Structure 1
Amino acid sequence: MITDFREFVRGDRVRANTSPEINEAIDREIAATVRFYAGKTDYEISKRIEELDNEWDIGRHVETRAAVISMIGLVLGLSRSRKWFILSLIATTFLFQYAVQGWAPPIPFLRRFGIRTKQEIDVEKYALRALRGDFDDIFSQERRTENVLKAFN
């Protein structure tokens, strides 16, 4: 069974800017989850896929936190003191940095808590879909095509 998912999440800027130890821990967690569900029913696998569809990726966490901090800075800046506007500036700077580089100071903190990228969530989801048999028709079509080609050779 695959435990190294680097090939499947190549080009992910967040993973590129995350320590290898954290990436490996997340990869091990994905592999353990897929192994766990290998012996489960289609219904149980479907429930897990539904959970994955609702899981927030790291981008959504960063964007939400930046928006909340920015709003707090604006409200406090307007109602208390102008110095609170600095919160909005910091939040939007982090958000811009995340958009451009795929990294911002809160990212390592969030990754330590196991917050995953969209690609990491999708790797688990598609592995579970393969376990459930969602792609069996594709593979059987490929086999039929191979058999036809062999028959003509």
Structure 2
Amino acid sequence: MIDLRQLKYFVVVAEEEHVGRAAERLHISQSPLSRQIAQLEERLGLMLFERNQQRIRLTADGQTFLAETRSLLIHANRLESLGKRLGRGEDGGLCIGYIENAMHSGVLSTALRTLRTSRPDVHIALYSQPARHAD
């Protein structure tokens, strides 16, 4: 599987068109950054950059790969954010079963309003059961 860190490095190098500036922006040294890019190219079996003394430029394949990489990183960030929200209970789902009388008492509706206010991204499913009378 491709390393997301390498993909982030790839995007920065592509944007900077210079490994030294990309390394500064990423707060790492140039040599490890160059190694990571070389490992990514080797893993893919694809030359992403054309290199010369002054600059590093994307190949045509590199440009195509860059567009997809950006989309993937955006999705990965969304996924991480969702996971954190789920972990904090700010997103997800909640199923509540109740007897008919509970809704009429106002207790459940008050609790649901409070929950909706404090956790607007939590999906709530309500399931009612008829009240059974004890004989």
Q: TM-score, normalised by structure 1?
A: 0.25
Q: Tell which has more relative contact order, 1 or 2 (C-alpha 8 A, sep 6+).
A: 1
For normalisation by structure 2, the TM-score amounts to 0.28
Higher strand share: 2
